[in-house]
Structure 1
Amino acid sequence: MTRDVHVAVFRPDDERMAEAVELLESLGAVPVPDPMLEVEPTGAVPNTGNAGDGASVDLVVLTSKTGVEILDKAGWTPGTATLACIGPRTAAAARAAGCTVDAVPEEYTSSGLVSTLEGVVDGMRVEVARSDHGSDVLLDGLREVGANVHETVLYRLVRPEGSGQSTVMAAGGDLDAVCFTSSLTVENFLAAAEERGVREEAVAGLNRAVVGVIGAPTRETAESHGIRVDVVPDNATFDELAAAAVEEAAPTYHE
């Protein structure tokens, strides 16, 4: 039997948080929703008509479902450019918006996409459309394999006002697990703890709980701040992260 665990989740306060709460409840956990990210669109969209010098863009890379939704609302299409998406959720959203998705890496990360496109993009003009907190791994990796890369910042990710109740719970030992879905959620959690004067206690509380992170970059960020990481799922999806964190915090025993 799996015992209930209190699990903090830091996704934006939209359908992603609602889905996360529903999933955690289905796993027998008690969700502690504490949004650490809020989306602010910039109004910019990728220019696929030309690259600023009369040359057309060959490939557009989309890295998130949020980015796809912003572009769809703006009426943007990739035109004749090939479209690559990081992860099945991003690809599904793009297809739902009427786009043809040509490439999705087996590993849902920036480095995974670079590996997928290596040998394909040499000499191509590549447009990467994403948030203002995108990893340099993607841009640098694509340039290293020969692409001419331009980045369009579709949206900014900011910390919502009033966030951080979970930091107080962590400091008080009231969390059994947390699910960090990006380096920015780690940094914003710590900033919120600092505002409340409980940063040191919150980190100590996390180190008594189960800390789950969605991938290697998030793990590196957490560990750089003295947070011990217990769970990194094989695939960078929230479903796998949540399931692994709950299982680690409250293993299923068979009588």
Structure 2
Amino acid sequence: MSGANADDASGGGDASRPSVAVFRPADDRIDAAAAFLESLGANPVTDPMLAVEPTGTVPRDAPFVVLTSKTGVELADEAGWDPGDATLAAIGPATAGAARDAGWTVDVVPDEYTSAGLVAALEARVAGERVEVARSDHGSDVLLDGLREADARPTETVLYRLTRPPEAGDSAELAAAGELDAAAFTSSLTVEHFLDAASERDLRDAAVAGLNTATVGAIGPPTAETAAEHGIDVDVVPDDAEFEALATAVVETATQR
């Protein structure tokens, strides 16, 4: 085990506190996630499953611009991009907050923080309009297909690529050993990268079995579906697709167990 928090979960931490794996990128997001889990009474197992590789591109000009992550907002802002007169849509409060911090006006935030929620929020406004979708290279087809069904003309710009750090996988070893109490998956890609890391260690079946005796949370239905497709039983899907809601529900369920 290379991570200090993974060592804590395997015996160095408070055994009365559930060990919860978290897979955020290795930046301020993993630190904030760990701090939040600690505030809930958990031992965080920080195992970053995502690395951000900027492409150097910015959103194209269009009457409507959709941003689907805080990371995308920050990269576009750092590159000097500004939405100008475009109607700006953000997938959820974190993305919208980052956009407002950049000095931009956010016009649309859907009630449901998913691609389907964005489509529902925009479909009455975008018929015949070009809609620029700026996001990672792992964006869901649901958004583009939904916009086309609403008679919009979507275009897509990849602002960054998401890769798996080569050192990721401590949590898979803990799960395989039965030493992980819970896991909080924040995207379908974190599920896939967890399983890839387990496979590289020849632990995939054991890691899945370990997860299925633990508490597994997924940030939304698409992530839960990906987990289920790979044989992982999901116990928790919060109503709000935000990390804080996911972490709270996971810790509550794991503690009750």
- Settle same-fold status: TM greater than 0.5: yes
How many residues align? The count is 243
Do 1:178 and 1:211's aligned partners in 2 also have CA atoms closer than 8 Å? yes
User: In 2, Cα distance between the equivalents of 1:251 and 1:14?
Assistant: 31
Superposed counterparts of 1:22-37, under 5 Å: 22-37=35-50
Does residue 179 (structure 1) correspond to residue 192 (structure 2)? The answer is no
Superposed counterparts of 1:133-148, under 5 Å: 133-148=138-153
User: In 2, Cα distance between the equivalents of 1:114 and 1:47?
Assistant: 19
Specify the SS of the correspondent of 1:138: helix
Structure 1 residue aligned with 2:69: 64
Specify the SS of the correspondent of 2:194: helix
Deviations 1:34-72 (A, max 9, x none): 000000000111221xxxxxxxx1100000000000001
Superposed counterparts of 1:154-165, under 5 Å: 154-165=159-170
The AA in structure 2 aligned to 1:226 is G
TM-score by length of 1: 0.94
The AA in structure 2 aligned to 1:69 is E
Structure 2 residue aligned with 1:45: 58
Deviations 1:101-160 (A, max 9, x none): 000001111101111112111111100000000000001001101110000000000001
Structure 2 residue aligned with 1:18: 31
Specify the SS of the correspondent of 1:129: strand
Q: Please, which of 167, 172, 183 is the counterpart of residue 167 of structure 1?
A: 172
The AA in structure 1 aligned to 2:139 is G
Deviations 1:180-214 (A, max 9, x none): 00000000000000000100000000000000000
User: In 1, Cα distance between the equivalents of 2:188 and 2:216?
Assistant: 13
Structure 1 residue aligned with 2:97: 92
Deviation >4 Å, runs of 4+: none
Range with bigger deviation, 232-241 or 116-125: 116-125
Q: CA deviation at 1:32?
A: 0.2
User: In 2, Cα distance between the equivalents of 1:176 and 1:145?
Assistant: 43
Specify the SS of the correspondent of 1:127: strand
Q: Please, which of 225, 233, 254 is the counterpart of residue 228 of structure 1?
A: 233
Structure 1 residue aligned with 2:109: 104
User: In 1, Cα distance between the equivalents of 2:245 and 2:35?
Assistant: 14
User: In 1, Cα distance between the equivalents of 2:23 and 2:60?
Assistant: 32
Q: CA deviation at 1:175?
A: 0.4
TM-score by length of 2: 0.93
Q: CA deviation at 1:240?
A: 0.4
Q: CA deviation at 1:3?
A: 4.1
Do 1:58 and 1:126's aligned partners in 2 also have CA atoms closer than 8 Å? yes
Specify the SS of the correspondent of 2:256: coil
Superposed counterparts of 1:228-247, under 5 Å: 228-247=233-252
The AA in structure 1 aligned to 2:244 is D
Specify the SS of the correspondent of 1:178: strand
Specify the SS of the correspondent of 2:66: strand
The AA in structure 2 aligned to 1:76 is W
Superposed counterparts of 1:125-136, under 5 Å: 125-136=130-141
User: In 2, Cα distance between the equivalents of 1:168 and 1:84?
Assistant: 40
Structure 1: runs of 5+ lacking an equivalent = 49-56
User: In 1, Cα distance between the equivalents of 2:110 and 2:171?
Assistant: 34
Does residue 193 (structure 1) correspond to residue 198 (structure 2)? The answer is yes
Structure 2: runs of 5+ lacking an equivalent = 1-14
Provide the aligned C-alpha RMSD in A.
Answer: 1.1
